[in-house]
Amino acid sequence: MSSIASYKTRRRQFASHMQKGVAVIPTASEHLRNRDAHYPFRFDSYFYYLTGFREPEAVLVIVADADQSKTKHLLFCRDKDEKREIWDGFRYGPEAAKEAFGFDEAYSVTKLDEMLPDLLANQSKLLFALGQDAGLDARVTSWINKVKEKARSGITAPTELHDSRLILDEMRLFKDSEELQIMRDAAAISDKAHRRAMQFTRPGMMEYEVEAEFLHIFRQHGAQSPAYTSIVAGGANACVLHYVDNDAELKSGDMLLIDAGCELNGYASDITRTFPVNGKFTAAQKDIYQLVLAAQEAAITNVKPGNSWDDPHQAALQVLVQGFIDFGMCKGSVDAVIESDDYKRFYMHRTGHWLGLDVHDVGEYKQNGEWRHMQPGMVLTVEPGCYIRPADNVPKPFWNVGIRIEDDVLVTQTGHEILTIATPKSVDNIEELMR
């Protein structure tokens, strides 16, 4: 996690954007998987960003005042419970949580319904992310109605509802130095796993055996989980963009596309590498691979402050489409193929996304209808690909080749830093590692 000072700074910054009002920011709820077994709990990213607190059943309440010295940060969390702690493990309880996480006040989460109407009294503005949890939406409504019941005593209820995510998305888009260190560490673990996969993979193995190496290395190095379900796709499976069955045999002569990254202390890494199952590229595989790699390099070159979000995508597209024409997969000029969308038969997704606490992280891509410009502190993925399904108008050696190359890139003052630079991606480096 980040330092307590960082969480406090973020809360203060958020409160100063709020100016005056009350923000209610809950963590995620727990979900049953079957009967008594739950899905592994993962805190809400917004809540975690502001608190560092990982327990379920917790709510952050910020009562912001224009006079910042009067602003209060309150945590509502589970009580200590000796019996439950024997079954489920340690819980802080309000008193210890207040000290450990630097809140002004902390209370039992069972006190929410009693206290929130008082906290909302005579406040005009409520910040809350409506529509995330129907149960909590109803409780917020009931708190406001409770305040309204006191109208005859001259007490007023909030009349403005703001989406708390508007402020937080913009804050989260710019990573601070502690977040960046965690993201570098996450990238380093994912890098180990990808290099291990290149060394481990042999024809005749099952995709899930390779997936298991990822899970092993993620946990072995302290990552809590994969940041998303790993894609381990041999041969034609690589042309299914969200392939996650990972249960087919890996065949000599096929490529293997692996899109896998760990989550470390809440932060995602997201790496894709594609390599030959038998360690040696065929001529056709090499043609397409080097095309995608050139597109990725062109895109990464375009990651720098002042460039628009769309620049890396357009740069990748120019390279890919020229290649599709050269290889006889598309006909006409580059501009005409882009204009007609004909290239989307082989490249149907965009070239990246913001990366952070969420693998597809928050943050606007456009502002006032225009692609936003990159600024230092933003982290994005750069992940062009090419997926060739069998078709009459495509040269046969390319059929069923699916390739994506994905790195995590930080926008710096002068350009960019590739957080995942260590993971081999040139033909020579991959073949050498696999030898």
The option from Mn ion, ligand GLY, none interacting with 228 (CB < 5 to 8 A, set by class) reads ligand GLY
Please state the closest distance from residue 270 (CB atom) to Mn ion, in A: 4
In the complex, the smallest distance separating the C-beta of residue 190 from ligand GLY, rounded to whole angstroms, is 11
Does 354 bind ligand GLY (CB under 6 A)? Our answer is: no
Strand-strand pairing, 21-26 and 125-127: parallel
> Which residue has tokens 């992310």?
129
Other residues' Cβ atoms within 10 Å of the Cβ of residue 77? 27
If the CB atoms of residues 26 and 352 are measured against ligand GLY, the closer one turns out to be 352
- C-alpha 348/C-alpha 286 separation (Å) is 21
Nearest residue (CB) to Mn ion, 164 versus 274: 274
User: Taking CB under 6 A as the rule, does residue 197 contact ligand GLY?
Assistant: no
In the complex with Mn ion, the residue whose CB is nearer, 73 or 273, is: 273
Going 93 to 95 to 100 to 103, the CA torsion angle's sign is positive
**b/e per residue, 246-280, with b = 16+ CB within 10 A?**
bebebeeebbbbbbbbbbbbbbbbbbbbbbbbbbb
The least CB distance from residue 243 to ligand GLY, in Å, is: 11
The residues annotated with a catalytic role in the active site are: 36, 242, 259, 270, 349, 353, 360, 383, 387, 404, 406
Q: Does 383 bind ligand GLY (CB under 6 A)?
A: yes
**228 sits near ligand GLY (criterion: CB under 6 A):** yes
Among 55, 179, 254, 270, binds ligand GLY (CB under 6 A): 270
Measured from the CB atom, the residue of 263 and 270 that comes closer to Mn ion is 270
- CA–CA dist 307, 374 (Å, integer): 6
Q: What six digits make up the tokens of 240?
A: 């299914």
Secondary structure of residue 189 in the 3-state scheme:
helix
Contact partner, 57, from Mn ion, ligand GLY, none, Cβ < 5-8 Å per class:
none
Integer Cα distance of 87 and 84 in angstroms: 5
Chain positions 392 to 421 lying near ligand GLY, rule: CB under 6 A, are: 406
Contacting positions for ligand GLY (CB under 6 A): 228, 259, 270, 353, 359, 383, 406
